[in-house]
Amino acid sequence: MKTILLFDQLEGNYLFLKDLVSSSDAEEIKLDWTPSFREALNALEQGLYDLYLLSYESGGLQLLHATRKDKERIPALLIQRYNDERLVQRVHDLGALGCLSMDGIRLQPLRSLLYTSLRQADAIRAMSEGDERLRIALKAARMVAWDWDVPKDELRYSSEPSMVTGRISYGLRHKFMTFLSYVHEDDREAVNQSIQNILVWGSDYDFEYRIRASDGKVRWVRSVAKVFRSTEGDPLRMTGVVMDVT
Protein backbone atom coordinates (compact mmCIF):
# COMPACT_ATOMS: atom_id res chain seq x y z
CA MET A 1 0.00 0.00 0.00
CA LYS A 2 1.22 3.47 -0.90
CA THR A 3 0.64 6.33 1.55
CA ILE A 4 -0.05 9.97 0.69
CA LEU A 5 -0.37 12.94 3.03
CA LEU A 6 -2.53 15.91 2.06
CA PHE A 7 -1.68 19.24 3.71
CA ASP A 8 -4.69 21.50 3.28
CA GLN A 9 -6.66 23.67 5.70
CA LEU A 10 -9.89 22.85 3.86
CA GLU A 11 -11.29 19.48 4.91
CA GLY A 12 -13.58 19.54 1.89
CA ASN A 13 -10.62 19.09 -0.44
CA TYR A 14 -9.53 16.05 1.57
CA LEU A 15 -12.98 14.46 1.36
CA PHE A 16 -13.12 15.18 -2.38
CA LEU A 17 -9.69 13.66 -3.08
CA LYS A 18 -10.37 10.72 -0.78
CA ASP A 19 -13.51 9.84 -2.75
CA LEU A 20 -11.60 10.02 -6.03
CA VAL A 21 -8.72 7.89 -4.75
CA SER A 22 -10.95 5.29 -3.08
CA SER A 23 -12.95 4.83 -6.29
CA SER A 24 -9.80 3.63 -8.06
CA ASP A 25 -9.59 -0.10 -8.80
CA ALA A 26 -5.82 -0.05 -9.26
CA GLU A 27 -3.03 -0.05 -6.68
CA GLU A 28 -4.31 0.63 -3.16
CA ILE A 29 -3.57 4.10 -1.81
CA LYS A 30 -4.08 5.40 1.73
CA LEU A 31 -4.72 9.15 1.87
CA ASP A 32 -4.21 10.97 5.19
CA TRP A 33 -4.92 14.63 5.90
CA THR A 34 -3.58 17.34 8.16
CA PRO A 35 -4.39 21.06 8.29
CA SER A 36 -1.33 21.64 10.50
CA PHE A 37 1.79 23.19 8.99
CA ARG A 38 3.90 21.80 11.84
CA GLU A 39 2.58 18.24 11.40
CA ALA A 40 3.12 18.36 7.65
CA LEU A 41 6.66 19.68 8.09
CA ASN A 42 7.45 16.94 10.61
CA ALA A 43 6.13 14.27 8.24
CA LEU A 44 8.21 15.66 5.37
CA GLU A 45 11.38 15.87 7.44
CA GLN A 46 10.99 12.31 8.73
CA GLY A 47 9.83 10.85 5.40
CA LEU A 48 6.69 9.30 6.90
CA TYR A 49 4.77 9.11 3.60
CA ASP A 50 5.47 8.03 0.04
CA LEU A 51 4.03 11.23 -1.46
CA TYR A 52 2.88 14.64 -0.21
CA LEU A 53 0.15 16.88 -1.64
CA LEU A 54 0.70 20.44 -0.42
CA SER A 55 -1.94 23.14 -0.79
CA TYR A 56 -0.58 26.39 -2.21
CA GLU A 57 -3.30 28.41 -0.48
CA SER A 58 -2.47 26.78 2.89
CA GLY A 59 1.26 27.47 2.71
CA GLY A 60 2.58 24.67 0.52
CA LEU A 61 5.36 26.82 -0.95
CA GLN A 62 6.59 27.69 2.54
CA LEU A 63 6.68 23.98 3.36
CA LEU A 64 8.81 23.33 0.28
CA HIS A 65 11.17 26.14 1.27
CA ALA A 66 11.49 24.76 4.81
CA THR A 67 12.09 21.19 3.62
CA ARG A 68 14.49 22.25 0.86
CA LYS A 69 17.17 22.99 3.48
CA ASP A 70 17.85 19.29 4.00
CA LYS A 71 16.65 17.64 0.78
CA GLU A 72 17.58 18.11 -2.87
CA ARG A 73 14.44 16.42 -4.17
CA ILE A 74 11.06 16.37 -2.43
CA PRO A 75 8.38 13.74 -3.28
CA ALA A 76 5.61 16.34 -3.30
CA LEU A 77 3.04 17.95 -5.58
CA LEU A 78 1.84 21.50 -5.01
CA ILE A 79 -1.96 21.72 -5.20
CA GLN A 80 -3.45 24.87 -6.73
CA ARG A 81 -7.08 25.90 -6.73
CA TYR A 82 -6.65 27.18 -10.28
CA ASN A 83 -3.89 26.41 -12.75
CA ASP A 84 -1.04 28.94 -12.62
CA GLU A 85 1.74 27.99 -15.01
CA ARG A 86 4.06 30.57 -13.44
CA LEU A 87 4.37 28.31 -10.39
CA VAL A 88 5.57 25.25 -12.31
CA GLN A 89 9.21 26.31 -12.71
CA ARG A 90 9.30 27.72 -9.18
CA VAL A 91 8.06 24.43 -7.73
CA HIS A 92 10.54 22.52 -9.86
CA ASP A 93 13.42 24.71 -8.63
CA LEU A 94 12.40 23.91 -5.05
CA GLY A 95 12.85 20.21 -5.76
CA ALA A 96 9.20 19.12 -5.90
CA LEU A 97 7.67 16.91 -8.59
CA GLY A 98 5.21 19.41 -10.03
CA CYS A 99 1.78 21.00 -9.64
CA LEU A 100 -1.78 19.68 -9.46
CA SER A 101 -4.74 21.93 -10.29
CA MET A 102 -8.04 21.23 -8.53
CA ASP A 103 -9.96 23.09 -11.23
CA GLY A 104 -12.05 20.55 -13.13
CA ILE A 105 -10.04 17.57 -11.87
CA ARG A 106 -11.23 14.11 -12.93
CA LEU A 107 -10.50 10.58 -11.72
CA GLN A 108 -8.41 9.25 -14.60
CA PRO A 109 -5.97 12.20 -14.92
CA LEU A 110 -5.63 12.34 -11.12
CA ARG A 111 -4.99 8.61 -10.81
CA SER A 112 -2.42 8.70 -13.61
CA LEU A 113 -0.63 11.68 -12.05
CA LEU A 114 -0.57 10.10 -8.59
CA TYR A 115 0.82 6.78 -9.82
CA THR A 116 3.44 8.53 -11.95
CA SER A 117 4.42 10.71 -8.99
CA LEU A 118 4.61 7.69 -6.67
CA ARG A 119 7.00 5.95 -9.07
CA GLN A 120 9.14 9.06 -9.24
CA ALA A 121 9.06 9.30 -5.43
CA ASP A 122 10.45 5.74 -5.27
CA ALA A 123 13.37 6.86 -7.42
CA ILE A 124 13.95 9.87 -5.14
CA ARG A 125 14.14 7.60 -2.11
CA ALA A 126 16.64 5.41 -3.95
CA MET A 127 18.79 8.52 -4.42
CA SER A 128 18.60 9.57 -0.78
CA GLU A 129 21.23 8.57 1.73
CA GLY A 130 18.59 7.51 4.23
CA ASP A 131 17.01 4.61 2.34
CA GLU A 132 19.58 1.83 2.24
CA ARG A 133 17.01 -0.91 1.65
CA LEU A 134 16.26 0.33 -1.85
CA ARG A 135 19.97 0.69 -2.55
CA ILE A 136 20.63 -2.89 -1.44
CA ALA A 137 17.74 -4.22 -3.53
CA LEU A 138 18.94 -2.35 -6.61
CA LYS A 139 22.50 -3.53 -6.11
CA ALA A 140 21.40 -7.15 -5.69
CA ALA A 141 19.53 -6.90 -9.00
CA ARG A 142 22.54 -5.21 -10.65
CA MET A 143 20.48 -2.08 -11.21
CA VAL A 144 21.21 1.60 -10.67
CA ALA A 145 18.48 4.23 -10.35
CA TRP A 146 19.13 7.56 -12.02
CA ASP A 147 17.50 10.97 -12.28
CA TRP A 148 18.29 13.59 -14.93
CA ASP A 149 17.41 17.23 -14.32
CA VAL A 150 17.05 18.18 -17.98
CA PRO A 151 17.14 22.02 -17.76
CA LYS A 152 20.19 21.92 -15.45
CA ASP A 153 21.76 18.94 -17.27
CA GLU A 154 22.51 17.20 -13.98
CA LEU A 155 22.42 13.41 -13.95
CA ARG A 156 22.39 11.73 -10.53
CA TYR A 157 22.75 8.04 -9.65
CA SER A 158 21.56 6.06 -6.63
CA SER A 159 24.98 4.42 -6.30
CA GLU A 160 28.32 4.22 -8.09
CA PRO A 161 27.34 3.46 -11.73
CA SER A 162 30.53 1.47 -12.36
CA MET A 163 28.56 -1.54 -11.09
CA VAL A 164 26.75 -1.42 -14.44
CA THR A 165 29.12 0.53 -16.70
CA GLY A 166 32.32 -1.23 -15.69
CA ARG A 167 34.08 2.12 -15.35
CA ILE A 168 35.04 4.16 -12.33
CA SER A 169 33.05 7.36 -12.75
CA TYR A 170 34.44 9.42 -9.86
CA GLY A 171 31.18 10.63 -8.39
CA LEU A 172 27.41 10.23 -8.55
CA ARG A 173 26.74 13.36 -10.64
CA HIS A 174 27.38 13.67 -14.35
CA LYS A 175 26.48 15.68 -17.40
CA PHE A 176 24.59 14.02 -20.24
CA MET A 177 27.67 14.00 -22.48
CA THR A 178 29.60 12.14 -19.77
CA PHE A 179 26.93 9.46 -19.81
CA LEU A 180 27.16 9.22 -23.61
CA SER A 181 30.91 8.70 -23.38
CA TYR A 182 30.24 5.41 -21.53
CA VAL A 183 28.15 4.07 -24.42
CA HIS A 184 29.81 1.82 -27.00
CA GLU A 185 30.89 3.92 -29.97
CA ASP A 186 28.75 1.87 -32.37
CA ASP A 187 25.61 2.52 -30.28
CA ARG A 188 26.29 6.09 -29.17
CA GLU A 189 24.46 7.87 -31.98
CA ALA A 190 21.40 5.60 -31.68
CA VAL A 191 21.22 6.10 -27.90
CA ASN A 192 21.57 9.86 -28.23
CA GLN A 193 18.89 10.02 -30.93
CA SER A 194 16.49 7.82 -28.96
CA ILE A 195 16.78 10.09 -25.92
CA GLN A 196 16.42 13.28 -27.94
CA ASN A 197 13.29 11.83 -29.58
CA ILE A 198 11.71 10.92 -26.24
CA LEU A 199 12.42 14.41 -24.90
CA VAL A 200 10.60 15.96 -27.86
CA TRP A 201 7.46 13.86 -28.10
CA GLY A 202 7.57 10.79 -25.87
CA SER A 203 7.03 9.69 -22.29
CA ASP A 204 8.19 6.11 -21.64
CA TYR A 205 11.73 5.06 -22.55
CA ASP A 206 13.04 1.50 -22.91
CA PHE A 207 16.30 0.91 -24.78
CA GLU A 208 19.12 -1.65 -24.82
CA TYR A 209 22.65 -0.74 -25.80
CA ARG A 210 26.27 -1.73 -25.25
CA ILE A 211 28.79 -0.36 -22.78
CA ARG A 212 32.53 -0.78 -23.23
CA ALA A 213 34.10 -1.34 -19.81
CA SER A 214 37.53 -0.04 -18.83
CA ASP A 215 38.94 -3.56 -19.24
CA GLY A 216 37.80 -3.59 -22.88
CA LYS A 217 34.94 -6.02 -22.34
CA VAL A 218 31.53 -5.21 -23.82
CA ARG A 219 28.38 -5.36 -21.71
CA TRP A 220 24.74 -5.04 -22.69
CA VAL A 221 22.57 -2.82 -20.49
CA ARG A 222 18.90 -1.91 -20.54
CA SER A 223 17.66 1.53 -19.53
CA VAL A 224 13.99 2.06 -18.61
CA ALA A 225 12.77 5.55 -17.78
CA LYS A 226 9.96 8.08 -17.87
CA VAL A 227 9.97 11.76 -18.85
CA PHE A 228 8.19 14.28 -16.63
CA ARG A 229 7.04 17.53 -18.22
CA SER A 230 5.78 20.97 -17.30
CA THR A 231 2.21 21.96 -18.09
CA GLU A 232 3.59 23.51 -21.28
CA GLY A 233 5.06 20.16 -22.32
CA ASP A 234 8.72 20.99 -21.74
CA PRO A 235 10.83 18.11 -20.34
CA LEU A 236 11.79 18.73 -16.71
CA ARG A 237 13.14 15.38 -15.53
CA MET A 238 13.88 11.93 -16.84
CA THR A 239 13.92 9.26 -14.15
CA GLY A 240 14.60 5.56 -14.44
CA VAL A 241 16.88 2.58 -13.86
CA VAL A 242 19.69 0.96 -15.83
CA MET A 243 20.41 -2.76 -15.49
CA ASP A 244 23.06 -5.19 -16.69
CA VAL A 245 21.46 -7.66 -19.14
CA THR A 246 24.68 -9.18 -20.48
- 17-55 pLDDT, tens digit per residue, is 888 777 655 567 889 999 999 999 999 988 899 899 999
For residue 142, pLDDT beyond 70: no
Closest to 199 measured CA to CA, from 241, 238, 232, 230 = 238
Most confident of 60-64, 109-113, 137-141, 162-166: 60-64
Residue 189 sits in the same domain as residue 73: no
Residue 194 sits in the same domain as residue 236: yes
Q: How many whole angstroms separate alpha carbon 122 and alpha carbon 119?
A: 5
Tens of pLDDT along 23-32? 655 567 889 9
For residue 122, pLDDT beyond 80: no
- The whole-number pLDDT of residue 126 equals 63
For residue 242, pLDDT beyond 60: yes
Q: How many whole angstroms separate alpha carbon 13 and alpha carbon 110?
A: 14
Residue 168 sits in the same domain as residue 239: yes
- The whole-number pLDDT of residue 170 equals 47
- The whole-number pLDDT of residue 161 equals 66
In a domain, 21, yes or no: yes
Tally of domains in the chain: 2
Closest to 56 measured CA to CA, from 17, 26, 34, 87 = 87
Residue 9 sits in the same domain as residue 84: yes
DSSP state of 183: B
